[in-house]
Amino acid sequence: MLDRATVEDSLNKIRPALQRDGGNVELVDVTGDGIVKVKLVGACGSCPMSLMTLKGGIEARLKSEIPDVKAVEAV
């Protein structure tokens, strides 16, 4: 079962790297079908590499740590 606290704990491991570059990630929602919805904020919100950060960084990390995560979407 995918729960918000587990996802938040995993995101907390990623945040320092984002914050070093002036950005951050906010958890918006965790759906019952394994979709994690996040909002990239600060420098990450307007960065042209944000899709790479989202899919190659955040999504990859969450999927490796939490098998129930199917995808991460920006909202």
pLDDT exceeds cutoff 80 at 1: no
The CA distances from residue 35 to 19, 27, 43, in Å, are: 24, 11, 24
* Overall average pLDDT of the 38-61 stretch: 92
Q: What is the mean pLDDT of the chain?
A: 94
- What pLDDT is stored for residue 34 in this prediction? 95
* Overall average pLDDT of the 19-33 stretch: 95
Could you give all domains of the chain from N- to C-terminal order, each with its CATH number? 4-74 (3.30.300.130)
What confidence category does residue 45 fall into, taking pLDDT thresholds of 50, 70 and 90? confident
Q: What are 29's strand-pairing partners? A: 37
Amino acid identity, residue 37? Answer: K
Entry pTM: 0.92
